[in-house]
Structure 1
C-alpha cells in the first residue's frame, strides 16, 4: 500500500513538473509568435496549394499560383523576423530534449541530451526561404510540396519544444496525415542535413 501511494505521489509530481514546464515553454514561444501571422499564412498556403493543384482551368490555376507567391514571400519575411527574435532567448530556455518523452529537468541536468531551438528555427527559416524562392528551380507543384514539408517540419519543432517529440509527431500525423519521417524525407537536402546534424540523428 505504501509503495502504491509513493508511486502515485511520484506520478503526480512528474505530471506537475511537466505541466509547469510545458506552460512556460508555450508562453515563451507564444510571446514571440503572437507578433506575427505565421500560422495564418501557413494555412493560406496549404489551402491554396490544394486549390491550385485541383484547378482544371490553366488561366485560373496560374492566377492562384501568382497569389500564392506573394503569400510565400510574406511568410518568409515574417518567419525570418520571428527566428531573429527567438535568437535573443537565453540558451537555457531554448534547450529541447532529444528524448521522445518528457523527463523532468533533462534539459537542465543533461544539456548534452538537448538541441538548441534557436539554431533549429534558423535552419527552418533558411529552408522556408530557399523553397519559397525556388532555388532548386522546381516545377510549381514540386516547389509547393517542398515548401509544405519545410513548414510542417518547422511546426513539428515548435510542438517538440513545447511538448515532446512523440506528441509533435502524433500531432503532425493527425493534422496533416503525414508522418515525421515522410516530412523529413521531403524537405530540401540542405535543410535535412543541417537539421539531422543539429538533433543528432
Structure 2
C-alpha cells in the first residue's frame, strides 16, 4: 500500500470515528435538553433585548426592560436544572478534548490530551446566567442585557464545542449572532471570565 492510499485510509477512518463521536454527543446533549425550553426562552429574551436596545425613546425603553424579567428568571432556572441533570453524565462522556482527535481521551494517556469537563462548563454557565439575572455587578439595564446575551452566547458556544469542535462553534456564533468568541468573552461577567479561563485557558482580550 503506497503512502497516498495509506493516508486516504487513515483520513477516512478518522472521519468516520469523528462523525460517530459527534453523533453520540449530539444525541447526549439533545436528550438532556429535551425536557426544557431553553432555546425558546433564549430566542424570546434575545428579541426582547434587541427591541429595547433599538428603542430610541428612553421612556419607552424603560418600559420594555421589566417585561423581560419573567423570561430571565425562567431561563436561569431551567438552565440550572439542565446543568444539574447534565452533571450526572459519566466523566468519560463529558470530556472536551482540545486536540481534534476522536476519542483521544480514551486511547491516549490523560497528560497527553489537554481538555476540560463539559459538566463543569455547564455549571459555570448556569452560575453566570444566574449572577447576571440577579445583577450582582450592578450594571445599567442596557449593560446588563448585553452581559446576559453574552453569557447565553458563550453557553451556546460551549454546547456546540462539546458536540462538534471549537472552530465550528466559533463560526456558528459569528453566523448566528454576528459576535466573535472574543467579544462574548469580553462582555460576560468578570467571574465568568475567570472561571472560563481556569477551565479552558482562554482569557478575555481586554482587562475589566
TM-score interval (norm. to shorter): over 0.9
**Which residue does 1:153 correspond to in 2?**
154
Spell out, residue by residue over 1:88-140, the C-alpha distance to the aligned partner (whole angstroms, 9 max, x if none). 000110100123xx212222224441100010111100000011111111110
CA distance in structure 1 between the partners assigned to 2:25 and 2:109 by the alignment: 18
Question: Which TM-score applies when normalising by structure 2?
Answer: 0.91
**Which residue does 2:205 correspond to in 1?**
none
Spell out, residue by residue over 1:143-178, the C-alpha distance to the aligned partner (whole angstroms, 9 max, x if none). 001001100111111111001111111111111111
Q: Does 1:134 align with 2:132?
A: no
Spell out, residue by residue over 1:27-59, the C-alpha distance to the aligned partner (whole angstroms, 9 max, x if none). 000001111111111111111111112224445
Structure 1 gaps of 5+ residues are: none
**Which residue does 1:76 correspond to in 2?**
76
Q: How does 1:85-96 map to 2 (within 5 A)?
A: 85-96=85-96
CA distance in structure 2 between the partners assigned to 1:198 and 1:110 by the alignment: 19
Deviation at 1:72, TM superposition (A): 0.4
Q: Is the 8 A contact 1:169 1:179 kept in 2?
A: yes
CA distance in structure 1 between the partners assigned to 2:19 and 2:30 by the alignment: 16
Q: How does 1:5-154 map to 2 (within 5 A)?
A: 5-99=5-99, 102-108=100-106, 109-112=108-111, 113-154=114-155
Structure 1 segments of 4+ aligned residues over 3 angstroms from their partners? 56-60
Question: Which TM-score applies when normalising by structure 1?
Answer: 0.94
CA distance in structure 2 between the partners assigned to 1:161 and 1:66 by the alignment: 34
Structure 2 gaps of 5+ residues are: 203-208
